[in-house]
């Protein structure tokens, strides 16, 4: 009889582990973490302006990106550099 106890890992723990691994990789590539996570109670509208051809913000190319109210994400620029203008209704933002 196998008495070994299975350890259950929550989806939140899996997500945190993946974020940590991604952060280590990105720092090794010379990038710097500005903020880890944030949520926007009233939503946000972002204008993405790549400085490097092909640069993306949260997987979005140049242009507008809209996050709905209550959304949460880790703002990330990949494949180069980009300026991102955040439009936050009433300036509502919460860092988590």
- pLDDT tens, 42-87? 778 788 889 989 998 888 888 888 888 877 777 788 899 988 887 7
Assess if residue 1 is contained within a domain.
no
Task: Tell whether 54 is covered by a domain.
Answer: yes
> Would you say the C-alpha torsion 84, 11, 13, 80 has a positive or negative sign?
negative
Q: Would you say the pTM of this structure is higher than 0.75?
A: no
Number of H helices, E strands in the chain: 1, 8
Q: Which is more confident, 49 or 22? A: 49
Q: What percentage of the chain exceeds 90 in pLDDT?
A: 3
Residue 8 lies in a domain: no
Domain span at residue 46 reads: 34-95
Give the model's pLDDT for residue 53. 92
């Amino acid at each position: 009889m196998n008495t070994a106890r299975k350890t259950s890992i929550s989806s939140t723990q899996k997500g945190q582990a993946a974020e940590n691994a991604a952060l280590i990789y990105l720092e090794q590539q010379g990038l710097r973490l500005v903020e880890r996570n944030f949520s926007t109670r009233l939503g946000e509208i972002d204008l993405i302006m790549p400085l490097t051809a092909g640069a993306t913000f949260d997987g979005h190319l140049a242009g507008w990106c809209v996050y709905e109210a209550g959304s949460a994400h880790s703002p990330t620029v990949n494949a180069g550099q980009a300026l991102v203008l955040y439009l936050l209704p009433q300036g509502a933002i919460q860092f988590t």
